Amino acid sequence: MKLPFAEPFKIKMVENLKRTTKEEREKYIKDSYYNLFNLKSELVFIDLLTDSGTGAMSDIQWSELMKGDESYAGSRSYYQLKEAIKDILGFEYFLPTHQGRAAENVLFSVLIKKGDIIPGNSHFDTTKGHIEFRGGKAVDCTIDEGFDPTLNYPFKGNVDLNKLERVFKENPIEKIPFVIVTITNNTGGGQPVSLENIKQVSALCKKYGVRLFIDGARFAENAYFIKEREEAYKNKTIREIVKELFSYVDGMTMSSKKDGMVNMGGFIAMRDPELFREASVFNIMFEGFVTYGGMNGRDMAALARGLYESTEYDYLEYRVKQVEYLGKKLKEYGVPILEPVGGHAVFIDAKRFFPHIPQSEYPAQLLGVELYIEGGVRGVEIGTILADRDPETGKERFPKLELLRLAIPRRVYTNNHMDYVAVAAANVFEKRNDIKRGFKIIYEAPIMRHFTVKLKRL
Ligand code: F0G
């Protein structure tokens, strides 16, 4: 017999979970104004809100914490991280930040002026937030295939070169400070971008003299998909793929809470010493001195190790296969999901789950609430609430995709947990027609409203 797949690690420490009843959960979520961000984590049984900062570090990473150097300037841990970034990603310069959005804040402070246009592939919400906050405009150039939740296409995160070139041609080029490509494309369903696509985007950017940056939060998962799905790279190692990918771009922003395998942290990496000097000024102002920038020495040491662990093939195979496993189970129960399954999360398609509930009643949020009540499982809405209002018209934006994301923390849950999640979702699906109405908003913030929104059942 062929040996079955098993996790390439064993468990050294456990964290106990508390169980609650359905009746209790109904009360907890009502008291939280049906906003899953308002729930205390101990009232959640399986927490798939995010894969960001929620992973388990390895024994070696924990031992790195003990070796961290907390010197204000010139910390040994900073140089350890600098080495790892050079070795794995190939960038000469880097600035640590306290997380990914802080990296965006620093880099965009240098590069974006009011009225600028920043094309990309479905910018993540904090990326879009930081662009719009500066009076810029994020233009989504994702390929059309990326918006069809049932289409099985290997690289749904790809940038449409025609759409991108149209943006270059139709606008004064000096209004386009850079292009940002997010790998994997989180907002679009954790979908990968092919190396061929990166190469072509890079060539197009060079032709027009526009800089190209990568939002690399899940760069290692993206590299795994390149190895599995892109013929030309099937015999390359993950690290070779990663190195080649970043060789085509000017720099990156990173949320180390994902493929950095740490609980907090981020960085900007780049090739241009002048950009590094300019960004250093903002880093010192917003984050901290250039050799710590909002990170503890020990956390930089754990991150340096994390970059090596996340680019190991065995780890990535386990990681992506667990996400696939949940997707497969959900499909078996008839629950409509976005396909193919992404690298860090399974996205349930709320438009097909609740076809009788209009987007103006937030069907993906409704699904999230019902799944919590059913099984104590917490996902996150990637739909109309997250899309915010149009900053110019004040009108709600109804995105093409209305999804509930079940993001899986790295090295945290077993496949028994995945089985439990799938049954909870199947139970909600069984009674979907008894659920007749969604929500209305009773409070919302002017930007990134999803974190603090308050809802009322209709
Ligand atoms: N870029 C991407 C693609 C992200 O997914 C995130 C965060 C960020 C940037 C910002 O990084 O949180 O460290 O400031 N995504 C989390 C998520 C929050 O749940 O997907 P951050």
Q: Is 353 among the domain residues?
A: yes
The answer on 261 and 382 residing in a single domain is no
Does 331 reside within a domain? yes
Q: How confident is the model at residue 447 (pLDDT cuts 50, 70, 90)?
A: confident
Domain boundary among 274, 291, 310: 310
Give φ, ψ of 456 to 5 degrees.
Answer: -130, 140
Q: Which residues partner with 139 through β-bridges?
A: 119
Distance of CA 251 to the CA centre of its chain: 18
Whether 148 sits among the annotated catalytic residues: the reply is no
- Check if 187 has its Cβ closer than 6 Å to any atom of ligand 1: no
Distance of CA 42 from the midpoint of ligand 1 (Å)? 23
Bridge-partner residues for 182, per DSSP? Answer: 215
pLDDT at 391 over 90: no
Closest CA to 226 of 259, 194, 200: 194
Three-class DSSP category at 398: coil
For the cut 90, the answer to whether the pLDDT of residue 266 exceeds it is: yes
> Does 7 map to a domain?
no
CB atoms near residue 151 (< 10 Å): 13
Q: Report the pLDDT value the prediction gives residue 401, as an integer from 0 to 100.
A: 87
Of 191, 225, 417, 256, residue with least CA distance to 322:
417
Nearest to 216 by CA among 247, 185, 237: 185
Split at pLDDT 50, 70, 90, the class of 231 is very high
Whether residue 324 is contained in a domain is answered as yes
Average pLDDT, rounded, for the chain: 97
The overall longest dimension of the chain from CA atoms, in Å, is 63
Instruction: Please check whether residue 16 lies inside any domain of the structure.
Output: no
Question: Which CATH number fits the domain that encloses residue 345?
Answer: 3.90.1150.10
The vertex-271 CA angle with 267 and 272, nearest 5°, equals 110
pLDDT at 187 > cutoff 90: no
Residues 39 and 70 in one domain: no
Does 17 reside within a domain? no
- Would you say 19 and 45 are in contact if contact means Cβ atoms under 8 Å apart? yes
28 within domain boundaries: yes
What is the tens place of the pLDDT at every residue in 322-371? 999 999 999 999 999 999 999 999 999 999 999 999 999 999 999 999 99
Q: Distance from the CA of 191 to the center of ligand 1, in angstroms?
A: 15
Is 203 tagged catalytic?
no
- 85 with 228, same domain: the answer is yes
Q: Last residue of a domain, which of 289, 310, 331? A: 310
Total domains in the chain come to 2
Q: What is the DSSP letter of 409?
A: P
Residue 189 confidence class, pLDDT cut points 50, 70, 90: confident
Residue 208 among the catalytic residues: no
Residues forming beta bridges with residue 213, ordered by sequence position: 180, 251
Select from 181, 186, 218, 254 the residue to mutate for testing ligand 1; criterion: most ligand atoms less than 8 Å from CB: 186
CATH of the domain at 199: 3.40.640.10
Query: Secondary structure of the chain: what % helix, strand, coil (to 5)?
Result: 45, 15, 40
Same domain for 142 and 249, yes or no, is yes
Residue 4: the pLDDT is: 87
pLDDT value, residue 383: 94
> Does one domain contain both 252 and 269?
yes
pTM listed for this prediction: 0.95
259, 290, 310 - which closes a domain? 310
Q: Are residues 377 and 428 in the same domain?
A: yes
Domain that holds residue 70: 59-310
Q: Based on the domain organization, do 135 and 281 belong to the same domain?
A: yes
Q: Domain check: are 141 and 91 in the same one? A: yes
The answer to whether residue 444 sits within a structural domain is yes
How much is the pLDDT for 448?
85
pLDDT digits (tens, 9 = 90+) for 279-335: 999 999 999 999 999 999 999 999 999 999 999 999 999 999 999 999 999 999 999
Give the pLDDT band of residue 414 (cuts 50, 70, 90).
very high
